[in-house]
């Protein structure tokens, strides 16, 4: 564990140096990425200029939910770069051979070989918007709330990671992905609005199959003082750990199945 932490620090420092070699380039990426994130809020903002509430949720409550969904997602985006290109880069081009030669966990290497540094702005933007919402909604937060908040952000991160890690691991069996990731990625949008507006099927799916609800909606209801989903709130860490364990198991099973393309 200690060794992995040290390695993580080294990987991170190394990659940061690579990225910052072109400072202007990085700044443009950072700020344009921030503009993109802020534009993402545009729909909610325009919508609420015409309507007072969405199923009992006010503008700042929806904003809180939306911001909460992108905060752990930002953390995930920082490390997910290689997941998207895993099939192409590591399997088809057989970069995975090199990964296997090193005495460090394969998953660790694949996740931390590259970082999408500009995605840290999503975390910053998300937290900033949540802070504004807390003030506007006049929420009284105790230290324990802040601690739960941190726990929930980590859980959300683990849930996003688990879902996409499982999908990525599929490329160990089927080299030519049919592109199952984009539709699931787009399901993230469901998590940005109250789960209760959807029909039962979608609510079930977002809770127990692709548990994005646990990464945004259920935690948010608690922080906004809505008590109807209390049980789900406290279940969140369990769901996150369960799905993460499952994803790692699928990954490890996949690694055993790996055979090099031999190039």
Partner 1 sequence: MTSAPLALPSLPTRNRSAAAQQALVYAEFVRVGFINTLAYRLRYYTGIVTYFIYVSVYYFIWKAIYAHSQRIEGFDFGQILTYIAVGWMIRSFYYNNIDQDLAEQVVEGKLAMDLIKPVNVQAMYLARALGESAFRLILLTLPTVIILFTVYPLRPPRSVVHFLAFFLSSSLSFFIVAGINFAVGTLAIRLKSILGLLRAKYFLLELFSGLLIPISFFPHAFQAAFAYMPFQYISYIPVLIYLGKLNGVFILRALGIQFFWVVALISLGDGMWRWSSRRITIQGG
Residue 118 structure tokens: 């500009």
Helix (H, G, I), strand (E, B) or coil at 141: coil
| Phi-psi map region of 140: left, alpha, beta (phi>0 left; psi -120 to 50 alpha) | beta
CA distance 124 to 209: 29
Considering beta carbons, is residue 94 or 202 the nearer one to partner 1?
Answer: 202
Q: Could you tell me how many residues of this chain bind partner 1 (CB under 8 A)? A: 37
DSSP 58-94: -HHHHHHHHHHHHHHHHHHHHH-HHHHTIIIIIIIT-
**Per-residue x/- track, 55-74, partner 1 (CB under 8 A):** x-------------------
- 32 binds partner 1, rule: CB under 8 A: yes
Residues from 159 through 188 that contact partner 1 (CB under 8 A): 176, 178-180, 182-183, 186-187
Q: How far is the CB of 252 from partner 1 (least distance, A)?
A: 26
Check: CB of residue 177 under 8 Å from CB of residue 171.
Answer: yes
Q: Which stretch binds partner 1 (CB under 8 A): 38-46, 124-132, 208-216, 243-251?
A: 38-46
**8 A C-beta contact, residue 156 and residue 163:** no
Minimal distance in Å, beta carbon 50 to partner 1? Answer: 5
Which residues make up the interface to partner 1 (CB under 8 A)?
A: 22, 25, 28-33, 35-36, 39-40, 42-43, 46-47, 49-51, 54-55, 118, 176, 178-180, 182-183, 186-187, 189-190, 193, 197-199, 202
């Amino acid at each position: 564990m200690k060794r992995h932490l040290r390695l993580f620090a080294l990987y991170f420092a190394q990659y940061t140096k690579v990225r910052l070699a072109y400072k202007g380039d990085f700044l443009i990426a950072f700020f344009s990425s921030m503009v993109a994130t802020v534009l993402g809020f545009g729909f909610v903002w325009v919508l609420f200029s015409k309507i007072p509430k969405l199923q009992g949720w006010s503008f700042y409550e929806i904003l809180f939910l939306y911001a909460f969904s992108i905060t752990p997602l930002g953390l995930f985006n920082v490390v997910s770069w290689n997941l998207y290109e895993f099939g192409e880069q590591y399997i088809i081009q057989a970069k995975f051979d090199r990964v296997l030669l090193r005495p460090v966990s394969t998953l660790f290497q694949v996740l931390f070989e590259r970082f999408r540094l500009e995605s840290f702005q999503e975390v910053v933007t998300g937290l900033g918007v949540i802070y504004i919402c807390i003030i506007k909604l006049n929420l009284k937060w105790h230290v324990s709330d802040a601690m739960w908040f941190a726990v929930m952000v980590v859980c959300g991160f683990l849930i996003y990671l688990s879902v996409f890690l499982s999908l990525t691991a599929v490329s160990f069996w089927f080299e030519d992905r049919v592109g199952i990731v984009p539709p699931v990625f787009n399901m993230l949008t469901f998590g940005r609005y109250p789960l209760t507006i959807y029909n039962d099927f979608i609510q079930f799916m977002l809770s127990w199959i692709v548990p994005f609800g646990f990464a945004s909606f259920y935690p948010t209801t608690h922080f906004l003082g809505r008590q109807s989903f209390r049980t789900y709130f406290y279940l969140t860490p369990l769901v996150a750990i369960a799905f993460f364990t499952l994803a790692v198991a699928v990954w490890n099973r996949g690694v055993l199945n790996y055979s090099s393309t031999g190039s």
